[in-house]
Structure 1
């Protein structure tokens, strides 16, 4: 009698169950890493704008409140803005856009930075 080679239905169901369990464990971890990576991108943009503010302040008597001039361009996940700008101080922020996964970044949906590199929430930086 010839032996049939192949997978049984039970073996196939066990493999599918294992893949499902591994996927349910891995996906939240992946989401967490993506949120942190996008937050890092927002921080980088704020620091680049901070460097631009410093270089512009050397040439001008005041900091700029023009987002385009200092290179603050909104991304898919964050809205960037200059909150205030004067002769000696400025404050900029990045706010996570509503409806994106960044809005789930608990406690870190708003990132602020000023002329002294002070941050509003040190845990987010």
Structure 2
């Protein structure tokens, strides 16, 4: 009798099941890492804007009220967050906010809003978490 070489249907189904289980574990972890990377980009943009605000203050004796005055665009490099300067602040104060774009996957992150001010205070808002959110986001 001739012996046939190849995979049985059972072996193939076991392989598919193992790949499915690995993908179910790995994909959410991958998405979380991508969101953290985008958040780091937003943090970098906020700190760059704060640095430019201080430079602007040394020449103008007041903080800028728009990002255009600082030579920045309202989106982060990866377009996951939008930056804004709170216009209601006095001339000797500023508050810059990065907000996750609503129709972007970043809106599913635990840190949807990051803020920094002239005193270097960093705050964050987002979905409910156990530890203080600012510690997890910054």
TM-score (norm 1): 0.91
2:96 maps to 92
Unmatched tracts of structure 2, length 5 or more: 125-133
Q: What is the Cα deviation at residue 86 of structure 1? A: 3.5
| Cα separation, 2, equivalents of 1:83 and 1:74 | 15
SS at match of 2:120: coil
Aligned equivalent of 2:74: 73
Specify every segment of 5 or more residues in structure 1 that has no aligned partner in the other structure, as ranges. none
C-alpha displacement of 1:77: 1.2
CA distance in 2: counterparts of 1:72 and 1:43, whole angstroms: 15
Alpha-carbon separation, structure 2, partners of 1:53 and 1:47: 10
Contact 1:72 1:81 in 2 (8 A): no
Match of 2:38, SS state, is: helix
Give the corresponding residue for 2:118: 115
Structure 1 segments of 4+ aligned residues over 2 angstroms from their partners? 84-87
CA distance in structure 2 between the aligned counterparts of 1:26 and 1:73, rounded to whole angstroms: 33
Q: Counterpart of 1:25 in 2: which secondary structure?
A: helix
Give the aligned length: 124
Q: CA deviation at 1:88?
A: 1.6
Shift of 1:34: 1.1
Cα separation, 1, equivalents of 2:47 and 2:60: 20
Asked whether 1:101 is paired with 2:84, we answer no
Q: Superposition RMSD on alpha carbons, in Å?
A: 1.4
The offset of 1:5, in angstroms, is: 1.1
